[in-house]
């Protein structure tokens, strides 16, 4: 089996034909990519919400069962902010001596783009599912509340440093922080400004992408 792998033309060009130090560098880079991939799957930044909505879209019996649907929908709501959270990683951009700023920008933007695509597709799938279950209604009755919760989730993750798993592992502190945010809106006006701003921004992104998908050029 290993002989067949070594004889593979692509692998021979990009790995087996390299010097020993180049092989080590390639393996190191591959390890880093694997680490990023595992982190994405573990944190749910891209994959989990799309997996949930996609599975639900294929299982009509789950949609028809209201208790099961509500549980799955709540789980989806907990994870969907992770797809949009990565937008805020742009704040980490700063000049570095080793890597050009334009490279880091392209790297982060690529992750932002993938996160937005999967997030928007997942929201669209869930919108269609709700149309199937409860009939067609104005999209804003669904889209903006979801994006408002998304923005709240982004704020909680970025500034309060919680993640989706804290609903199970650290629920009391999470509830306390959200409660203080809700009962003191004026004291937390800058926080609410960020939440409302991002909710409107993400709603506009979603509606624009949705309209572009229906437009005829």
- Measured CA to CA, the distance from residue 119 to residue 139 in angstroms comes to 16
Residue the block writes with tokens 């199970």: 168
Whose CA is closest to 50, among 120, 111, 113?
120
Residue pLDDT tens, the chain, 217 long? 444 444 455 555 556 666 665 666 666 666 656 655 655 554 444 567 878 888 887 777 888 888 888 888 988 998 898 888 888 888 878 877 777 888 888 878 887 887 888 889 899 989 988 888 887 677 788 999 999 999 999 999 888 888 777 888 888 998 999 999 999 888 999 999 999 999 999 999 999 988 887 765 4
Q: For residue 144, what pLDDT is reported? A: 93
pTM of the prediction?
0.75
Distance CA 33, CA 111 (A): 13
- On whether the CB atoms of residues 164 and 78 are closer than 8 A, the answer is yes
The tokens of 213 are what?
């998908």
Give the pLDDT confidence score for residue 38 in this predicted structure.
56
pLDDT the model gives residue 141: 86
Q: With contact defined as beta carbons under 8 Å apart, do 53 and 122 qualify?
A: yes
Give the C-alpha separation, 178 to 173, whole Å. 9
- The whole-angstrom separation of Cα 183 and Cα 58 is 40
Contact 134, 95 (CB under 8 A): no
């Amino acid at each position: 089996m290993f002989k067949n792998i070594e004889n593979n033309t692509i692998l021979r060009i990009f790995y087996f034909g390299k010097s020993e130090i180049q092989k080590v560098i390639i393996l190191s880079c591959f390890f880093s990519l694997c680490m990023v991939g595992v982190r994405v799957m573990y944190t749910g930044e891209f994959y989990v919400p799309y997996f949930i909505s996609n599975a639900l879209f294929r299982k009509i019996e789950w949609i028809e069962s209201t208790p099961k649907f509500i549980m799955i929908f709540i789980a989806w709501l907990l994870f969907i902010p992770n797809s949009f959270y990565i937008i805020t990683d742009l704040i980490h951009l700063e000049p570095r001596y080793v890597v050009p700023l334009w490279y880091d920008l392209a790297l982060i933007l690529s992750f932002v783009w993938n996160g937005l695509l999967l997030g928007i597709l997942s929201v669209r799938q869930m919108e269609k599912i709700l149309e199937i279950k409860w009939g067609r209604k104005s999209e804003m009755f669904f889209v903006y509340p979801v994006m408002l919760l998304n923005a709240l989730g982004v704020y909680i993750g970025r500034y309060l440093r919680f993640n989706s798993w804290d609903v199970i592992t650290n629920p009391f502190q999470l509830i306390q922080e959200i409660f203080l945010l809700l009962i003191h809106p004026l004291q937390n006006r800058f926080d609410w400004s960020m939440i409302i701003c991002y909710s409107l921004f993400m709603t506009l992104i979603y509606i624009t992408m949705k309209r572009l998908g229906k437009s005829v050029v």
